[in-house]
């Protein structure tokens, strides 16, 4: 599972003195200081600022700041807040440089604020076309910026990399990093190493081929590109790592089917070790999910490990050359990405000092890997797992054959499900406690192979499974009971003991990313619309703030004029938020989207405005008169084309319109104007005419009418 023989480049010196950190950083005002290699290497000593996505190259999200601590956190109060102009999921990590906060919002917008007063300094809108939303599997989110020199760097949903002047927000240059004719998106934050801006992309559900690339920070020229899966035409002239990968795929399918790009997108996690000059990337799922269609063997069932899907891959950052890999889920078929947060640390294991890499990917196992060689050290379940019984001595999962749906061709309930035991939400590490804090959850899924599946790169969600197979029945009581099985937790994981030290149970899943501090605290927002502080050693809740909206983004902390601040971007959204029953089947609901930046300090006295009333259309559908055949067709097409945004079973989310309450249900022409003609494309609802004919789109309408009547009869208002 690993390859060795590489030589670390070690082109950058670590251990830069704290005096090389940003100067003037305790003064709120102009951001004239340049950020270079020295500042990024010394970011761990810079307590005033937060200058990269995970604060340091190790991505530990730990700050030694302790002016806010376990003894006084009860005095933490809101200092100021800023309303966002996008009512979609907010997932960004703000950067803090020289007293100013820079952040991205949904739709790839950028905003700059004075970190002390909240004064707006500038705003930038890249004007991402609304129709781009249909290419995004999981909301129109963006996770943040990178900085180098006097510029900020942004990846946009439509695949551009943009350099902005940090003082003015004006565009210095922009570069298209993807084939915009395909369904690529960019939602992750760039990273910068020695003047190279590194960015990946998403789109594995839509038939793309994944890669990560480096661009010159000065002018945007591409410096290197690393593909994560082969294209099926490899020969002796191809890169050796791709030749090796091609042997683990059905090369003919890859080479002959343009609609199956293989997947393997690098849509989120990266970390960097400057001593080794190694960049670590997390590689995503296959395209389609079902390996039986992506890489069939002679008997038509799934075959091959399909490198480098669901892998951690180490790349020489200066050249883009392959160093080693570790595959967490060989031959993945369940959307078990390894794009989740990667963090680096040095610790003693079995009496020996080790340079390790740690990850809790979707598949439910917590991994500790030697980051110099890729050697497997340990892998243990951090949530309930039924697809494998453990990891063998070679680091390979011991699979449960009944869950290998690409082999059996039969439905199976698998846990974790496609949302994973941990998704994109960043973890945090506290070096004094030697604990990794995981925003985990329990949510299994029924995987039912779709018969005679064919890819559709126009508008289709290409997974090779029937996404309607796990729809809950109309019985509201049963749905409430089923919702009760969805759990969220904050787990303090001991990577040496290989077990939790403590666990905090949340009311539901999809809780926010994490921050650990030298004040003995762990901060986290929740799906229950709270922002909380916990004791880092015991898990005791020490402080809570009613945020009025679900928080999924991770917090940051910084100082200005010697005063410590904690900031978090609030706003419910993302994959799970799009898929849940608009507030009807769990105690948390309705979870609202009220997008804001919240900034706290000791003694803060600001207050949020009164919670706005929930404006919701009544459930008053027209009568359901369609035949069983039409409703069945509508159910099938809804699952393939609509469920990913409007929730399975047409139950309606709180982020996007609840179709059961749509005024177009009773007007066929109005429905067709939206679905076929795309009159709402600027809002993200494009035409589906390339994938659905008018009879099929009207069958979806009849299915939604049927479901709306079921729910109304069951007591839904």
Give pLDDT tens digits for 422-454: 999 999 999 999 999 999 999 999 999 998 888
CATH of 628-713, one of 3.40.50.450, 3.50.50.60, 3.40.190.170, 1.10.760.10: 1.10.760.10
Q: Tell me which residues are annotated as active site.
A: 335
- 465 in helix, strand or coil? strand
pLDDT digits (tens, 9 = 90+) for 521-577: 999 999 999 999 999 999 999 999 999 999 999 999 999 999 999 999 999 999 888
Cα gap 357→481, rounded to integer Å: 39
CATH 2.140.10.10 residue window(s) in the chain: 18-443+486-602
Q: What is the mean pLDDT of residues 172-200?
A: 97
Given a cut of 90, is residue 261 above it in pLDDT?
no
Q: What pLDDT was estimated at residue 61? A: 98
Helix (H, G, I), strand (E, B) or coil at 482: helix
Sequence-distant (≥ 6) Cβ neighbours of residue 412 within 8 angstroms: 402, 403, 405, 446, 447
On the question of pLDDT at 370 being above 50, the answer is: yes
The three-point CA angle 23-29-110 to 5° equals: 105
Taking residues 62-75, report their average pLDDT.
98
The interaxial angle of helices 668-675 and 694-713, nearest 10 deg, is 120
Percentage above 70 pLDDT, the chain: 92
Q: Report CA-CA distances (Å) from 595 to 90, 139, 449, 571, 573.
A: 7, 14, 38, 4, 10
- Per-residue confidence band for 27, with pLDDT thresholds at 50, 70 and 90: very low
Average pLDDT over residues 95-119: 98
192-213 burial by CB neighbour count: b if 16+ within 10 A, else e?
bbbebbbbbbbbbbbbbbbbbb
Alpha carbon distances (Å) from 102 to 113, 153, 164, 597: 7, 11, 11, 11
Question: How far is C-alpha 564 from the geometric centre of its chain's CA atoms?
Answer: 28
Quickly list DSSP for 33-76: --B-HHHHHTGGG--S-B-STTSSTT---EE---SS-TTTGGGE
Tens digit of pLDDT for each residue in 379-415? 999 999 999 999 999 999 999 999 999 999 999 999 9
| Residue bearing the bigger pLDDT, 306 or 478 | 306
pLDDT bracket for residue 98 (50, 70, 90): very high
Fold of the domain spanning 18-443+486-602: Methanol Dehydrogenase; Chain A (2.140.10)
Please check whether residue 367 is in contact with residue 1, taking contact to mean a CB–CB distance below 8 angstroms.
no
pLDDT value for 13: 38
Rounded to the nearest 10°, the torsion over CA 589, 594, 597, 601 is -60
Looking from the CA of 212 toward its CB, the CA atoms found within 13 Å total: 36
pLDDT at 216 over 50: yes
CA 338 – CA 359 distance, rounded (Å) = 8
Q: What is the mean pLDDT of residues 57-74?
A: 98
Lowest mean pLDDT among 77-86, 203-212, 439-448, 458-467: 458-467
- Supply the mean pLDDT for the chain: 91
Give phi and psi for 713, each to the nearest 5. Answer: -65, -25
- As annotated, the residues of the chain forming the CATH 1.10.760.10 domain(s) are 628-713
pLDDT exceeds cutoff 70 at 582: no
Is residue 280 within a helix (H) or strand (E), and if so which, with residue range? strand 278-282
pLDDT of residue 240: 98
Rounded CA-CA distance 592/583 in Å is 9
pLDDT score of 476: 64
Predicted pLDDT at 32? 52
The yes-or-no verdict on residue 8 having pLDDT over 90 is no
What are the pLDDT digits (tens) for 633-675? 999 999 888 888 888 888 877 788 889 988 889 999 999 999 9
Q: Measuring CA to CA, which residue among 194, 260, 263 is closest to residue 228? A: 263
Measure the CA–CA gap between 348 and 654, rounded to whole angstroms.
46
Average pLDDT score over residue span 584-612: 86
């Amino acid at each position: 599972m690993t390859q060795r023989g590489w030589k670390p480049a070690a082109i950058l010196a670590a251990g830069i003195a704290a005096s090389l950190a940003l100067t003037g950083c305790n003064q709120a005002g102009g951001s004239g200081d340049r950020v270079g290699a020295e500042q990024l290497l010394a970011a761990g000593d810079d307590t005033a600022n937060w200058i990269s996505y995970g604060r340091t190259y190790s991505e530990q999200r730990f700050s030694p700041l302790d002016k806010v601590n376990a003894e006084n956190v009860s005095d933490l109060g809101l200092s100021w807040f800023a309303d966002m102009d996008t009512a979609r999921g907010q997932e960004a990590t703000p950067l803090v440089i020289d007293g100013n906060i820079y952040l991205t919002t949904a739709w790839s917008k950028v905003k700059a604020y004075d970190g002390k007063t909240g004064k707006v300094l500038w705003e930038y809108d890249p004007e991402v076309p609304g129709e781009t939303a249909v290419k995004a599997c999981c909301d129109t989110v963006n996770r943040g910026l990178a900085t180098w020199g006097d510029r900020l760097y942004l990846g946009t949903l439509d695949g551009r990399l943009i350099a902005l002047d940090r003082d003015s927000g004006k565009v210095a240059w922009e570069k298209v990093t993807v084939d915009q004719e395909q369904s690529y998106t960019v939602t992750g934050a760039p990273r910068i190493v020695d003047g190279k801006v590194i960015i990946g992309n998403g789109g594995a559900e839509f038939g793309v081929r994944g890669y990560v690339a480096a661009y010159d920070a000065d002018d945007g020229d591409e410096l290197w590109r690393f593909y994560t899966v082969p294209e099926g035409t490899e020969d002796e002239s191809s890169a050796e790592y791709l030749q090796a990968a091609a042997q683990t795929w059905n090369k003919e399918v890859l080479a002959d089917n343009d609609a199956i790009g293989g997947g393997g997108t690098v849509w989120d996690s990266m970390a960097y070790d400057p001593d080794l000059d190694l960049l670590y990337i997390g590689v995503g799922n296959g395209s389609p999910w079902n390996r039986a269609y992506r890489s069939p063997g002679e008997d038509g069932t799934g075959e091959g490990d399909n490198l480098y899907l669901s892998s951690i891959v180490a790349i020489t950052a200066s050249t883009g050359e392959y160093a080693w890999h570790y595959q967490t889920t060989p031959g993945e078929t369940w959307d078990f990405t390894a794009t989740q947060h990667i963090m680096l640390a040095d610790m003693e294991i079995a009496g020996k000092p080790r340079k390790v890499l740690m990850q809790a990917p979707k598949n439910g196992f917590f991994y500790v890997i030697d980051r110099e060689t890729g050697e497997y050290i340990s892998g243990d379940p951090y949530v309930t797992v039924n697809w494998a019984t453990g990891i063998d001595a070679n680091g390979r999962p011991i699979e449960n054959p009944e869950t290998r749906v690409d082999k059996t061709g039969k439905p199976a309930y698998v846990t974790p499900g496609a949302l994973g035991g941990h998704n994109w939400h960043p973890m945090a590490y506290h070096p004094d406690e030697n604990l990794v804090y995981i925003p985990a959850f329990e949510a299994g899924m029924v995987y039912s192979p779709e018969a005679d599946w064919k890819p559709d790169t126009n508008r289709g969600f290409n997974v090779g499974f029937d996404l309607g197979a796990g729809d809950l029945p109309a019985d509201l009581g049963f749905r409430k009971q089923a919702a009760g099985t969805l759990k969220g937790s904050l787990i303090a994981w001991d990577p040496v003991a290989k077990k939790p030290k403590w666990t905090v149970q949340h009311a539901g899943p999809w809780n926010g990313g994490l921050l650990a501090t030298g004040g003995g605290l762990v901060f986290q927002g929740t799906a229950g619309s709270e922002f909380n502080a916990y004791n880092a050693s015991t898990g005791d809740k020490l402080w809570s703030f009613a945020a009025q909206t679900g928080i999924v983004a991770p917090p940051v902390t910084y100082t200005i004029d010697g005063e410590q601040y904690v900031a978090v971007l609030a706003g419910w959204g993302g994959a799970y938020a799009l898929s849940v029953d608009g507030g009807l089947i769990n105690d948390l609901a309705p979870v609202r989207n009220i997008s804001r930046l919240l900034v706290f300090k000791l003694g803060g006295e600001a207050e949020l405005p009164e919670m706005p009333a929930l404006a919701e259309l009544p459930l008053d559908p027209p009568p359901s008169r369609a035949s069983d055949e039409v409703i069945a067709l509508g159910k099938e097409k809804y699952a393939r084309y609509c469920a990913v945004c409007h929730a399975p079973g047409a139950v309606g989310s709180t982020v996007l319109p609840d179709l059961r309450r749509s005024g177009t249900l009773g007007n066929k022409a109005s429905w067709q104007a939206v679905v076929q003609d795309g009159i709402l494309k600027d809002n993200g609802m494009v035409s589906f005419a390339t994938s659905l004919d008018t009879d099929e789109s009207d069958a979806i309408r009849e299915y939604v009418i049927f479901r709306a009547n079921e729910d109304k009869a069951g007591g839904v208002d």
